[in-house]
Structure 1
Amino acid sequence: MQRSGIVPPSAVPYSLERTYRGPKPSIPFLSTSDPREFSRLRMALENLLPSDVSERFRYQILTDHLQLEEALLVADSYCNSTHPYTDNIQALINMYGQPHKLVLHNIAEVMDGPNIRTGDVEAFNLFALRGRSLVSMLEQVGPEGNVELDCGSHVLRQQSKLPHELRTSFKRYIHPMRVAIPTLIDFSNWLEYELQVQDDGAKTSCFTPGPSNKKRLEYRNPKTARKPTTILLGTEKPMSGRISQPQASEVTPKSARFKGWLSAYCPYCDNTNHFLNGCANFKELTKEQKESWIRKNN
C-alpha cells in the first residue's frame, strides 16, 4: 500500500522533466585531415548549437574548434561573408566530409594495417571491429558502396593479413555456401562468427581443471626418493665359509638381497646375527672410537 503524497517514479510522465541532468556533451576539435574527425565535429555542432543563434555565433564556435591549419585558412576566407558559418561548413564538407572520402580512408586503414600474428587475440579483435565498421559504412553509402562490397580483391587483401589457421577457418566457413568469390559481407559475417567462437573458447578454458597434486605425485619415480645406505665391510680375520668381500664398498641392502651374495655378519661382535650398521654395541661408541676401530681393523 502506497503512502499518501508519494508518487511512484513510473507514474511521473517524461514531459515533466524540464532540466537536463545528464553528462555535459562537448564539441571535438579538428586537428588532422582525418574524415572521421570532421564527421564527429559536424555531428556535434548540429546537435549542440541552438537553432535560434546567429550565423556569426555559430561561425565563432566552429573556428574555436579548428586546429588544422588548412581548415583555419578556409575559415578565414569566409569571415566577411553574409553567411559565414553555412559557407564555411559547406567548404569543409567538400574537403573532408564527402562520404566516399571517409570510406576510402577506412579502406586504406584496414588494408594497410599490420599482419595478425598467431595467438594475438587483441589484434584480431581490433581487425574484426574495423572490418565490420567498414562494411556498415559501405552499406550506407549507396551504389558506390555496393561496388566496394562486391570487390573480391578487398577480401583477398584482408585474408593475407591473417595467419594460416584463420585463413583456413574462413575457407571452411565459406565452403558450404558455394560462393566462388566471397564479398566483404561474407568476410564480415565470418569475423562475427569467429569472434563468438573465440569468446566461447576463452570462457570454457577458464573452467578447465588442472591435474591435482595427488595425481602429480603418482608420476614420481619411487626409487628417486630412496637414499642408499652405506655399509662398511672388512676385517683382518678371515671369514671361513664365506665369500671374501672387498675391504670397503658401498652397496644398498636391497641391491645386495637381489644379488644374493651378502649374508649377515658383524666384524665388531664377530657373529652372524646382524650387520655392522645394526650393531648396538658399535653404536654406543663415540665418533673417535669408531674411527680408531675402523683404522685399526682396516
Structure 2
Amino acid sequence: MQNQSFITEFVLLGLSQNLAVQKILGVVCLLLYIATIGGNMLIVVTIVCSPALLGSPMYFFLAFLSFLEVCFSSVITPKMIVDLLYERKTISFEGCMLQLFAEHFLGGTEMIVLTAMAYDRYVAICKPLHYTSIMNLRLCAILMGVAWAGGFLHSITLIVLVFELPFCGPNIIDHFICDLYPLLKLACTDTHIFGIFAVATSGFMCIVIFSMLLVSYGVILSSLRTHSSEGRQKALSTCGAHITVVVMFFVPCIFINARPPVALPFDKVVELFYTILTPLLNPFIYAFRNKEVKNAVRKMCKKLVVVFDGKE
C-alpha cells in the first residue's frame, strides 16, 4: 500500500481558540473522562467478579459494552485533553490514521453489540421458555465475534481508501479529532466519489441497524400486553434503558454519517456529545438503575473493605 502524502502531521484547531476557555474545557473533560472510566470499569469488574451476573447473557453483553465505552473514550479523550491544555495541537499522520481506524472500529463494533443486546431482550421477553436454549454461551461468543469482525471490516475498508488519498498541501483540521469529513477536505484530489462511498457504508449501516432496533423494540413492546403487570414493568425498565442508549448513540451517528459528505461547524458539538457524554451516561442509564447490578456492586465493595481492613 503506497501512500502519496507529503504531510507528516496535522494541526487540530480544537474546540475553541480562546486559551482560557480551552483550559477550563480541559479540566472539565478530564473530570468527565475519569468518571467515564471509573463508572464503566466498575460495571466490568462487578460483572466479571459476579458469577451469577456473568452467566447471564444480558450482563455479559453489558460488560462488553462498558469495556467498549472505555476503549472508545480512551482513543479520543486523553489526546483532546492534552490539546486543550497546550496552545499548539498536532497529531502525526500515522496517529491520525490510527485514531480514525480505532474510532470507526469501536463504533462499528458497538453498533453490533447493541443489536445483540436487543436480540437478547427480544428472546427473553417474547420467547421466555426457550431463552436458555437460544441464548447459550456458544451464541453469545459468536455474536461477540461477529461484532469484532464487523467493526474491523467496516473500519479497515475506510482506512485503506483514506490512506491512498494524497495529502500534499493544507494540514489544518477544523476539529478536535481526526474525523473523516474534515480530513477529506485536505486531500489533493477530488474526493466526491469517496464521500459518497463513506455515506453509503457508514450512513447506511447506522440507518439500517437503527431501523432494525426500532422495529425489534416495537415487537417487544407489543408483546408485553400478554405479560403480568410486574413482568411488564420490569421489561419496560430494561427496554427503556436500552432504547435510551440506542437513541443517544445512533442519532448523532446518523447526523454525522448519513448526510452529504461535508464538514459542518455543529459537528464538533455532536461529536463531543457521543465521544464524551454518551460513554459517561451509559453506566448510569443501564446499570446503576438495575437492582441486581447495584447489589453486586455493594457486595464487591464490602469484600474490598474487608480485604483492606485485614491488611491493616
**TM-score bracket for this pair, using the shorter chain length:** under 0.3
Normalised TM-score (structure 1): 0.25
Normalised TM-score (structure 2): 0.24
Higher relative contact order (CA 8 A, sep 6+): 2
Please tell me whether Structure 1 or Structure 2 has the larger radius of gyration of its CA atoms.
1
